[in-house]
Amino acid sequence: MKDEAVELDIGVVIVNYNTRDLLKQCLESIYDNDQGKVRFEVVVVDNNSTDGSAAMVGETFPETKLIVSEVNGGYAYANNIGLRHFGYPERAANTPRYALLLNPDTVLPPRTLGRMTEFMDSHPNAGIAGPKLVRPDGTLDKACKRGFPTPEASFYKITGLSSLFPRSKRFGRYNLTFLDPNQTAQVDSVVGAFMMVRRESIQQAGLLDEEFFMYGEDLDWAYRIKSRGWEAWYYPEVTVLHVKRASSRNSYRAQREFYRAMEIFFRKHYANTTPSWQKFVIFSGIYLKMMIDLTKWRLSRNVRG
């Protein structure tokens, strides 16, 4: 797909960890379906998988650039390897106009890349865009349109008020559940499972923060990009299948990292402007919710075991 004499439209970065079969399906959906006239290259960064993922990519998709990491450094770490391959955050000779972070547990319908490129081209102030994501059962993946986890939004999420009143503009800010999922809208962030990012916004904001092992790095990136004046857009005219948490659903570390990401994000962006009493409530809520969920996870594993 890469032509050294032609500027690429999209540099696709897929981070893989032990999702060989889903990764194969994802790559097939990219290469076998019509993606329009968009010029793209795909790089797969394998995070030290043990299921033969790297061998499968090398044997089945020779057009894909494969980078095998000797360690599992996390999602942000591996994505940054892929982004640097394309020349980000600087503008190298053929740095693509857009970067696309794509999870291996996604399936792209025909012309997804072309339609998303057209949308970004028609919205020059858009630094970030993402499509509608649906689960295998047809339900919406709520993370595809996000509000920033402000102290208030996080409190409503942790206490369950966001679930009790999903249509409320006050309580539903965490996943913007008050927005019509079929309506194009500006949002705070889209999810890193499919996040298209403009080259110039990466040049200004830099790469992903590797303090996040998994979860939260996409929100942090969006926060930094939007702080430079760029917009983030949810574009449901394109719908992508997302299995979700294919490589992490059975991982204790993944459960813990979810809450660690919440803490990092809060400390980084809100702690300095939040009253001490409110910080105590938020941190206590994060730790309490983490302990409850980790206990449930252990119990469920014991029952299955």
State mean pLDDT over 17-22: 96
Domain locations in the chain as residue ranges: 10-145+181-242, 252-304
Q: Considering the chain, what percentage of its residues have pLDDT values greater than 90?
A: 69
This prediction's pTM: 0.90
Does the pLDDT of residue 4 top 80, yes or no? no
Does the pLDDT of residue 62 top 90, yes or no? yes
Residue 8 is encoded by which pair of tokens?
A: 């690429």
Task: Look at residue 30 in the predicted model and tell me its pLDDT.
Answer: 97
Weakest mean pLDDT among 25-34, 156-165, 189-198: 156-165
Superfamily, domain 10-145+181-242: Spore Coat Polysaccharide Biosynthesis Protein SpsA; Chain A (3.90.550.10)
More reliable by pLDDT, 157 or 84: 84
| Per-residue model confidence as pLDDT tens digits over 207-231 | 999 999 988 999 999 999 999 999 9
Spell out the long-range contacts of 293-298 with Cβ–Cβ below 8 A and sequence spacing 24 or more. Answer: 293/255, 293/259, 294/252, 294/255, 294/256, 297/252, 297/255, 298/252
Residue given tokens 């993606």 in the structure block? 35
Instruction: Identify the band that residue 14 occupies on the pLDDT scale cut at 50, 70 and 90.
Output: very high
Instruction: Identify the band that residue 10 occupies on the pLDDT scale cut at 50, 70 and 90.
Output: very high
